[in-house]
Structure 1
Amino acid sequence: MSTQRPDGPRSRPTIATVAEAAGVSIATVSRVMSGSSKVKQELADRVHEAADQLAYRPSRAARGLALGSLRNIGVILPDLTNAYFFDVVNEMHRGAAENGYRMLVADSNGDPDEELNTALDLLGQVDGLVLLSSRIPTAGLKQLARRDAPAVLVNRIELGVDLPMVAADNFTPMMQLCSHLAQLGHTRAVYLGGSQFAWQNRERWRAVQSSAGFGLQVTHVSADGTVEGAHAAVPEALEHDPTALICFNDLSAIGAISALRDAGLSVPEDISVTGFDDIVLARHIAPALTTVTSPKVQLGRRAWDLMRVMLDTDERPESPDPLSAEVVLRASTGPAPLPRG
């Protein structure tokens, strides 16, 4: 049995190369590599020997064809009603469709246990899994990393988790927002937080806490990153007599502006408001929202690129550097009002 590659020593071995070296059909190699028990042991041994000598490693895509791959990619996100996720998912869908995959999208309602259970359930129905703004605890992510199906983590960076990760820089632009408020004379602000399980929330709050260096004292008030959650949290925020509300995301900012109007306050004359993400509504509400433009399309594109590498090669690619995000100054922020009295 010769194992000389017909197309030269530097070419990557293919299933056809192995079939020729072993003196069997491509279909036989495919059945052996997929673990079929219907191949005679003598033929299977020849295939394995040829594959070993050629350093042939079947791609996940090739095994999928042999086993009847579902050609499905699972995507789990915390809130289908949040417009932020549309551009990310849509870009991933574009890439998946071009490569012959469908996407199955599931909503975890922001619940870490529900998200992990959904992920484990989906693993038997998909060829790969994308966890978008995942709330799963680190131990659960490590559990998923040990599974055979490839998974990509989007909008989260966790040291010690062996998964490829795609994220944007949340810290720097949030610091820039705080600096902007300080330059406008604000010294007291409230941060309307998002989910305690969200990596993005932790990063943004970490940046806000660092804003003390600008002379900005910020109090944390819990919310949930939704319009209604932020609306309900505003009365508590106002107890701290802030001149600015720094909101976890644009949905929170929209809810906050509505609540401030209900309280008879004007934005930004009485109180400034900032958001984060730059969803479509952010530029169309009155006043237009000062926020951060998250690179949603690029996040989706990078996520699919990483997934495609794993589907095609079985290799786990390196995580790219975080994408940058830009502050957009609009009409919802203005000079701090003069002290009353």
Structure 2
Amino acid sequence: MPNKKNARTRHTSVSQRRQVTIIEVAEAAGVSIATVSRVMSGSPSVRSELVERVRRAADELGYRPNPAAQRLASGVGDTIGVVVPNLANPYFYDVIKAMNIAAATEGYQMLIADANEDPDEEFDLSTNLLRQVDGLVLVSPRMPAASLRRLAQENVHIVLVNRVAVGVGLPTVAVDNYSAMVEICGHLARLGHRRVVYLAGPELSWQNVERQRAVEQAEAFGLEVQTVPAGASIDTGHAAVDRALELKPTALVSFNDLVAFGALARLQELGVRVPDDVSLTGFDDIPFAAYVSPSLTTANSPQRVLGQRAWQVLHQMMSGAEVDDTPLVKAEVVIRGSTAAPTSSTPDRLPSRPAAGSAAPSVH
């Protein structure tokens, strides 16, 4: 039978040679550094199973908390992480800002990571952040459902924003994209439009799936709908217009406002008037939508409400409280100057190919 006294002596000598860090304990326990700090300071906000994991890892490693470090950690506050597809999109900025304001009132800081529209990078960033934060918010994640399930198995606090994934087991806060896009298409049909091109967003975007589904269902209004890939940015919207005009539409329905801004710029370069020759719509109602010329018909996707609700759900999870049901948030359609009734001369005014010296740029 091993000599327990000798074992303790050897363990103590190892600890004296190299001080075990809180980072090592967090990695061994599979939790954030802030969670280890709260457990060691006796905070009651940590779930019992996490307390057990942290204390077991600390005992096995011989970790002894530094009182000064504990005081510093408790003064700084806790941390949440946020991963977004593209920080250049003002839509995501407003969601994050609303979350940050709400989280700050509870003493939480925020770490933000930009995935650059890359699902693999998005998963890697999420995995890394989970080791540093108490909770994670994934805003419009592009990663496949299988990757979301892997994250859900980490037994940590994760909330999805604008991504409904069946069978993943993660709470979701999302906008009702489908109903608002159906309403936009109904508006175009009532104006007399029949040939519509949908400038589609990223293929892996749940919001794009919902918006495209709505546009295709709008054929019930008598619309003939065709789709052209257009991404999620101004550049990609600009680049998609020439292909869209070859289809002779009377209206372009854009995935989001940024795509619509790019499309508007290209239409103006080609001498195509909006809305006289072609009507144009966006989605999200970011601040610039009301100030372009003509102002953009779009759907107001309430970013601040999303951010506030995302924080509310995450905070409930981290506090061990029961998570409230979160119904889809309604998006209000806003009719502005970029849509009007089509004219009989519209098809004749649309160029069949780019005008000389005005070739569209490549998609970035």
Question: TM class by shorter-chain length?
Answer: 0.7 to 0.9
Instruction: Output one character per residue of 1:178-201: Cα deviation in whole Å (capped at 9) or x when no partner.
Output: 010011110001000110010000
Match of 1:312 in 2: 319
Q: Does 1:237 align with 2:244?
A: yes
Q: Which ranges of structure 1 fall in alignment gaps of 5 or more residues? A: 1-25, 40-64
Distance 2:43 2:297 in 1: 59
1:148 shift after superposition: 2.6
Match of 2:136 in 1: 129
Distance 1:113 1:222 in 2: 21
Residue 97 of structure 1 is aligned with which of 87, 100, 104?
Answer: 104
Q: Does 1:322 align with 2:328?
A: yes
Distance 1:177 1:237 in 2: 19
Question: Which residue identity lines up with residue 94 of structure 2 in the other structure?
Answer: D
Q: Does 1:161 align with 2:181?
A: no
Instruction: Output one character per residue of 1:232-264: Cα deviation in whole Å (capped at 9) or x when no partner.
Output: 010000010001000000001110010001111
Distance 1:312 1:287 in 2: 48
Distance 1:35 1:107 in 2: 33
Change (3 A) 1:37 1:246: closer
Distance 1:275 1:38 in 2: 53
Q: Secondary structure at the match of 2:185?
A: helix
Instruction: Output one character per residue of 1:63-101: Cα deviation in whole Å (capped at 9) or x when no partner.
Output: xx89x6771111000111101112110110011111111
Change (3 A) 1:74 1:143: same
Match of 2:118 in 1: 111
Number of matched pairs: 290
Name the stretch that deviates more: 327-336 or 315-324: 315-324
Q: Does 1:337 align with 2:343?
A: yes
TM-score for both structures, normalised by structure 2:
0.75
Change (3 A) 1:293 1:38: closer
Change (3 A) 1:29 1:247: closer
Question: Which residue identity lines up with residue 84 of structure 1 in the other structure?
Answer: Y
Change (3 A) 1:115 1:193: same
Match of 2:310 in 1: 303
Match of 1:60 in 2: none
Name the stretch that deviates more: 264-273 or 140-149: 140-149
Q: Secondary structure at the match of 2:196?
A: strand
Equivalent positions of 1:1-341 (< 5 A) are 33=52, 34-35=54-55, 71-313=78-320, 317-339=323-345
Runs of 4+ in 1 over 4 A off after TM superposition: 26-34, 36-39
Instruction: Output one character per residue of 1:156-206: Cα deviation in whole Å (capped at 9) or x when no partner.
Output: 111111111000100001001001001111000100011001000000000
Instruction: Output one character per residue of 1:293-313: Cα deviation in whole Å (capped at 9) or x when no partner.
Output: 011111000000001011111
Q: Secondary structure at the match of 2:55?
A: coil
Cα RMSD for the two superposed structures: 2.4
Distance 1:328 1:88 in 2: 20
Distance 2:267 2:287 in 1: 21
Q: Secondary structure at the match of 2:220?
A: helix
